[in-house]
Amino acid sequence: MSVHIIGTSHIALQSINEIKKAISEQKPDLIALELDPERVYVLLHGEKTRLSWREILRIGVKGFVFAKLGQCLQQRLGKMLGVSPGSEMKVALELARKGGIKIALIDQPVRITLKNFSQELTWKDKFRFLEDVLTGIFLPRWQLRRIGLTSFDLSKVPGKRIVSVMIKQLQQRYPSVYKVLVEDRNKFMVKKIVHLLRENPGKKILVIVGAGHKEGMEELLLKVDVI
């Protein structure tokens, strides 16, 4: 199976450099991105999606509010680090275009994810999750010490151990959030990758996803019979 998965941080300069290096050295025939058409349009044109009240009600108020808060948090952190959120995906798109490399968008449409988020999450769970993330309780200092760290460097992609701890915390403390944001999307993206492998036999595929998806997707791919 000729698939290589890169796990990125959407606000880390390190991710941009790793993507440039991977495309240059591996010379993939196809690049699969954790994006959907709507997010690609926003990345390339810099225009924020404006939703009518009807559209907000269709995807769910909880999903809409969560997306907006997450967007604001990423933008603030990105500003601190001097990297616009999603820059690594934009670089991958631009390099693919320059090199004539095929692009595949493999993520579930964001509106479906937000709609599922609204349907499966209670207000109590949602605010508990956001409160933990914003106050740092989600990955407390004693847990950082337990895995041999005293700080968390946002300018770098988290190591495998850190990602595993964070994902496990999410799964245990907020199982519905884990299911909607991680598990369901992992399955969706792996199905897309399997389809790409069957449609492009013998081709090298470079997959670029958030670090939190990498391990789960690799495990799923190992269980799949592509032929």
Instruction: Report the chain's mean pLDDT, rounded to a whole number.
Output: 78
108 pLDDT higher than 60? yes
Q: 90 with 43: CB under 8 angstroms?
A: yes
Q: How far apart are CA 33 and CA 123, in angstroms?
A: 31
Q: Which residue has the higher pLDDT, 151 or 54?
A: 54
What's the rounded mean pLDDT across residues 144-155? 51
Domain ranges (residues) in the chain: 3-222
Q: Among all chains, which residue has been given the structure tokens 């959407």?
A: 10
The answer to whether residue 53 scores a pLDDT higher than 90 is no
Q: Where are the beta strands (DSSP E) in the chain?
A: 3-8, 30-33, 102-105, 205-210
Looking at residue 170, what is its pLDDT? 77
Length of the chain: 227
**Residues sharing a CB contact under 8 Å with residue 187, sequence separation 6 or more, in sequence order:** 220
Give the three-state DSSP class for 90.
Answer: helix
Edge-to-edge strands, sheet with 102-105: 3-8, 205-210, 30-33, 102-105
